[in-house]
Amino acid sequence: MEGASRKIQRHRRPRGVRTLQYPVYRDDAGAAFLLGNQPDHYPACLGARNLREGQKGLILAAFAKILGPVIVVLPGIIAFHIFNGSLSNADQAYPLLVNKVLPNYLLGFFAAVLFGAVLSSFNSALNSSVTLFGLDIYKSHLNPAADDLKVVQTGKRFGIVLALFSMTIAPFIAYAPAGLFVYLQEVNGCYSIPILTIILVGYFTLRVPALAAKIAILSGVILYSISQFILKPFVFGEAAYPHYLHVMAILFVLNVAIMLLVGKLSPGQPRPLPDAHAVDMTPWGVVKPAALLVVGAVIGVYLIFSRQR
C-alpha cells in the first residue's frame, strides 16, 4: 500500500481528471478493470505488492461478480415458484425460502453465516468511507498540514459517527414501498452514475480537467436527486414517470456531455508519467486475454438472461 500510494503522490498530473485528489491514470489497474464497479475495491488494488498481483486480484474479483445474477436472482425465482407469487413484498422471499427449505438444526448456523456476511459488507463500506473522508476531504481540503496519525484519528471519529448514523436510519428502510433491494438500487444512482462517468471519461481521454469531474459529481447527484425525490413523486407521479434505470441512462449521457464540454472549453494538458520504481509495474502476461474473457462472460450472461421466453 505504501509503495502504490507513494507512486501516486509523486506523479500527480495537476490538470488530470481526479476523483477528489488523485488522478485517474490511463495505466491505472483500478481504472482499467473496475469500470462501473464498486469504488471500495480501489484500496485493495493499491494494496497489492506489484501491478501483476493487483491485476490478478481484480480479474478474479471480476469473475466473482459474474456470479452476482445467480446469487441475487435465483433465490427469488425459486421463491416465486414455491409461493406462487403470493408474497406482498420482495424482501420476504429470501427469509421465507430459507425457513421452508432449511432444516431446523441448521437455522442457527445459517444465521451466524448471514450475520458474518452482513458485518463483512458493512465493515468494507465503512472502511472505504473512512479512507475517502480522511484522504480526499480532511487531508486534502480541511487540514492539509495534518500528519498520518491525525488523519487516522479523525477518520476513526468519522467512522464512529457514520456507523451510528447508519444504525439509526436502518430500521426506517423497512418502510420502503418496493422493498430494500429496489430502494438501494434506486438510491445508489445518486453516486454510481457520476463515478462511472468520471472513470470512463478519465480513462478514454486525457484532455478533460479536474474541474469537469467535480462538476459531473455535483450535477449527477443534484439532477438525480431532483428527478427521483421531487419530480417523480410530486410533479409527474410514479405511474407516469420513467423507470429509475432509464433516468440513470439519460443522466449518464448528460454527464458525459458536460465533462466533454468542460474539457473543450478548458482542456487539460497531458504530461508524461515517469515510473518512480516504487513498486514493480510489470503487467501480468495474460491480463488482456483474461479481461476479454471477463467481458465476453458478462455479455454472454446478459444475452442468456435477456432472451424472450
d(CA 38, CA 50): 21
Residue 61 corresponds to which cell in the numbers above? 474479483
pLDDT band at 69 (very low <50, low <70, confident <90, very high): confident
Maximum alpha-carbon separation in the chain: 66
Confirm if 60 and 29 have CB atoms less than 8 A apart. no
Read off the amino acid at residue 169. I
Looking up cell 461478480, which residue turns up? 65
C-alpha cell at 182: 429496489
Nearest to 64 by CA among 87, 80, 41, 47: 41
Residue range 269-292: average pLDDT? 83
Domain range list for the chain? 90-178
pLDDT category of residue 12 using cuts at 50, 70 and 90: very low
Q: Name the pLDDT band for 8 (thresholds 50, 70, 90).
A: very low
> Which triple of cell numbers denotes residue 159?
467512522
177-191 per-position pLDDT tens digit: 777 778 888 888 888
Band of pLDDT at residue 309, cut at 50, 70 and 90 = low
Q: What is the 3-state secondary structure (H, E, C) of 240-297?
A: CCCCHHHHHHHHHHHHHHHHHHHHHHCCCCCCCCCCCCCCECCCCCCHHHHHHHHHHH
Of the listed ranges 27-36, 42-51, 272-281, the one predicted with least confidence: 27-36
- CA-to-CA dists, residue 226 to 178, 215, 222, 287, angstroms: 20, 16, 6, 41
Report the chain's C-alpha Rg in angstroms.
22
Identify the band that residue 75 occupies on the pLDDT scale cut at 50, 70 and 90: confident
308's grid cell: 424472450
Cβ atoms within 10 Å, residue 170: 10
Q: Which residues of 20-47 are buried (b: 16+ CB within 10 A; e: fewer)?
A: ebbbbbeebbbbbbbeebebbbbbbbbe
Tell me which residue has cell 451510528. 164
pTM score above 0.75: no
199 contacts 24 by C-beta, under 8 angstroms: yes
Compute the distance between CA of residue 232 and CA of residue 108 in angstroms, rounded to an integer.
42
Identify the residue with better confidence: 69 or 169.
169
**With contact defined as beta carbons under 8 Å apart, do 251 and 193 qualify?**
yes
117-161: pLDDT as tens digits: 889 889 988 998 898 899 889 998 899 999 999 999 999 999 999
pLDDT of residue 206: 81
pLDDT of residue 177: 73
Q: What is the pLDDT of residue 267?
A: 85
Given a contact cutoff of 8 angstroms between Cβ atoms, the answer to whether 129 and 159 are in contact is yes
Mean of pLDDT over the chain: 80
Q: Determine the pLDDT at residue 256.
A: 94
Beta bridge partners of 23: 18
